[in-house]
């Protein structure tokens, strides 16, 4: 018989999973606001340039939003397992739970959900985050979990990533996460420079910056790939083990890097082979406007005509110019 109305003493309530990450919400809101603002001016662009301008806008904002959001995601590597395991220390209670491990660049997220959620007079729905980013102490967060009396499966998984663990996974993931995060920040900076160069019509150098952005994004994958393929300690729950694989953030990073690589190469190749088509894509083709000016002869007798306009008339049409007597 346990104390406190049938519940185990000193254990706080479950830290349930929040519906969404507020950092993601802020980033997505900012970029969607920028997209909506630019769409407002879209009707002011004439002809085919409207479609090309809209495509450049969407792809540019997509790359920037993804690169920035990937810094804060927690699903670069994920894994789930269903097991029958002991619930808490000093108790023989065995529960059937789903245990999830989600590894990001700045820490690990461990979830525990019962099947069903309500077992042994408790709601089993935990979501605990342990950070190893700059300014955070993973071991201190783990000790706080011990003091709070978190369920044994969460503490068992979290213990594998402590600095004192013989598994040595803490240093591997922490170092690789820091390098991957640094390269992604550099990729975000080069993306901003490429947007600036394209807006200044420096197309070739903008393509080079896109190639550099793609290289940095792919290098961040390489840093994470090296630690993913090192020898790891098994995370065993009786006859089953918790195994992880690449998560959604990893594959999204790969797609974004390949997209930047394709766009950068396209700009460089078109600049060498078909520069006029490249100018057309970036709304820099002035031939249509020039033809409209030459096709309209101007007479000084017309109220809206000036001497400067007359000088722009082709030589073959100068006979049409007449003078008026004062």
Rounded mean pLDDT of 273-293? 65
> Worst-scoring range by mean pLDDT, 44-48, 49-53, 144-148, 200-204?
44-48
Angle, CA 152 vertex, CA 146 and CA 20 arms, to 5°: 85
Q: Are 204 and 162 in contact (CB under 8 A)?
A: no
Q: What is the pTM of this model?
A: 0.77
DSSP-assigned letter for residue 302: S
Residue 133, both tokens? 């980013």
> Worst-scoring range by mean pLDDT, 2-6, 104-108, 116-120, 232-236?
2-6
H or E segment at 260?
Answer: helix 248-273
Residues ≥6 apart with Cβ < 8 Å to 11: 88, 148, 149
Tell me the average pLDDT of the chain: 79
Q: Are 157 and 42 in contact (CB under 8 A)?
A: no
How many whole angstroms separate alpha carbon 277 and alpha carbon 203?
Answer: 12
């Amino acid at each position: 018989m346990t104390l406190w109305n049938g519940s185990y003493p000193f254990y706080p309530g479950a830290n349930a999973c929040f519906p969404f990450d507020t950092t993601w919400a802020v980033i997505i809101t900012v970029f969607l606001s920028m997209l909506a603002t630019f769409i407002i001016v879209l009707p002011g662009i004439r002809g085919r340039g409207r479609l090309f301008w809209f495509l450049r806008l969407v792809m540019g904002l997509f790359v920037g939003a993804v690169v920035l959001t990937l810094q804060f995601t927690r699903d670069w590597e994920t894994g789930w397992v269903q097991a029958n395991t002991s619930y808490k220390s000093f108790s023989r209670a065995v529960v059937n739970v789903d245990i999830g491990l989600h590894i990001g660049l700045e820490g690990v997220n461990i979830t525990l959900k019962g099947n069903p959620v309500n077992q042994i007079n408790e709601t089993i729905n935990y979501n605990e985050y342990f950070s190893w980013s700059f300014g955070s102490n993973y071991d201190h967060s783990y000790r706080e979990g011990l003091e709070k009396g978190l369920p044994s499966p969460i503490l068992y998984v979290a213990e594998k990533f402590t600095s004192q663990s013989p598994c040595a996974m803490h240093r591997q993931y922490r170092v690789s996460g820091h390098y991957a995060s640094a390269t992604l920040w550099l990729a975000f900076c080069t993306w901003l420079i490429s947007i600036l160069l394209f807006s200044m019509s420096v197309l070739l150098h903008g393509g080079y910056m896109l190639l550099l952005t793609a290289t940095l994004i792919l290098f961040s994958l390489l840093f994470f790939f090296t630690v993913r393929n090192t020898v790891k300690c098994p995370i065993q729950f009786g006859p089953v083990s918790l195994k992880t694989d690449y998560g959604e953030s990893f594959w999204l990073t790969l797609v974004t890097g390949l997209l930047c690589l394709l766009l950068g190469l396209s700009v460089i190749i078109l600049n060498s082979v078909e520069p006029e088509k490249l100018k057309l894509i970036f709304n820099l083709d002035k031939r249509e406007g020039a033809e409209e000016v030459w096709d309209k002869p101007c007479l000084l007798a017309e109220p809206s005509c000036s001497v400067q306009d007359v000088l722009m008339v082709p030589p073959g049409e100068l006979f049409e110019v007449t003078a008026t007597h004062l």
